[in-house]
Amino acid sequence: MSRKLIVANWKMNPQTEAEAIQLAKAEDKKNVVLCPPFVYLSNLKLKTKNSKLGAQDVFFQENGAFTGEISPLMLKSLGAKYVIIGHSERRALGETDEIINRKVKAALSAGLKVIFCVGENLAIRRRGMKAVKNFIKQQLSKDLRNIGNWKLKIENLLVAYEPVWAIGTGKADTPKDTKEVVDYIRSYLNWKLKIANWKLLYGGSVNAKNAKGFLEVSDGLLVGGASLQPKEFLKILYEN
């Protein structure tokens, strides 16, 4: 069974807690991180035993007058070990590089493992791989600004390469292009933060058919749509 990390990003699904429990039980395997909506975390902690739990977002303050927000320590107290930060769907809702930078620092300081997402849109991809690398480099340098000075547990930082045009579209990237970008991210971070052994994931229309190719060029997968279909998700795990 799976040795690389397979992260299930359920997004704003499913609609009820009963369905969430059913889905979690079906996907409760080793090396899996389930990222349900916040509200299901505490109950899923009780209902799962092999998988780890993650959240889909977090706020950067520890507590106080921030209506509707959730702090890193709250997530930890519910049993979450991971948190996704900087997903393109959150960026599309207005999350800026500065906010993402603060969130990454706050989550790492609290001891959470961060699945930090980067990726270019279609217009950039059409300009070629050089433009893609340039864009990713900017995201990395803005969103991880000063992170090396914070004495954070940088080994808790995972980077997910998710080309925006591949997310939820059924049009996954190719393993070849993914490898080029993933290798670029790895060497940029090695140089910038002087740390080797980065864990890099691929996300964007991963399914049972294409999972193997992406697993060969990355350290794991971030799976959206297919993680809502247990049969498909389990097939992805068997490719690992």
Point out which residues bind ligand PGA (CB under 6 A): 9, 162, 167-168, 203-206, 222-226
* Identity of the amino acid at 24: A
Q: How far is CA 236 from CA 190, 217, 221, in A?
A: 30, 15, 9
On whether the CB atoms of residues 198 and 159 are closer than 8 A, the answer is: yes
- Contact predicate 165/123, CB 8 Å: no
Q: For the chain, what is the radius of gyration of the CA atoms?
A: 17
For residues 162 and 219, which CB has a smaller minimum distance to ligand PGA in the complex?
A: 162
The candidate with the shortest Cα–Cα distance to 197, out of 212, 182, 186, 211, is: 186
> 115 vs 152, which CB is nearer to ligand PGA?
115
Q: Is 175 or 224 the residue whose CB approaches ligand PGA more closely?
A: 224
Q: Which residue is nearest to ligand PGA (CB)?
A: 224
Span between the terminal Cα atoms of the chain, in Å: 6
Angle at 80 (CA atoms; ends 74, 83), nearest 5 degrees: 90
- Minimum CB distance to ligand PGA smaller for 194 or for 231: 231
Catalytic annotation present for 155: no
Q: Shortest gap between Cβ of 38 and ligand PGA (angstroms)?
A: 17
Closest distance to ligand PGA from the beta carbon of 187 (Å): 24
Tell me if residue 19 is catalytic: no
Axis-axis angle for helices 97-109, 129-143 (nearest 10): 60
Q: Smallest gap, in angstroms, from Cβ of residue 168 to ligand PGA?
A: 4
> Exactly one of 87, 89, 120, 239 is catalytic; which is it?
87
State the Cα torsion 220-221-226-229 to the nearest 10°. Answer: 30
| Residue 27 burial (CB count, 10 A) | 23
Which position among 27, 89, 120, 162 bears the catalytic label? 162
User: Shortest approach of ligand PGA to residue 166 CB, angstroms?
Assistant: 6
Q: For ligand PGA, which is the closer residue by CB, 86 or 204? A: 204
Closest distance of CB 49 from ligand PGA, Å: 25
Question: Hey, which residues are catalytic here?
Answer: 87, 162
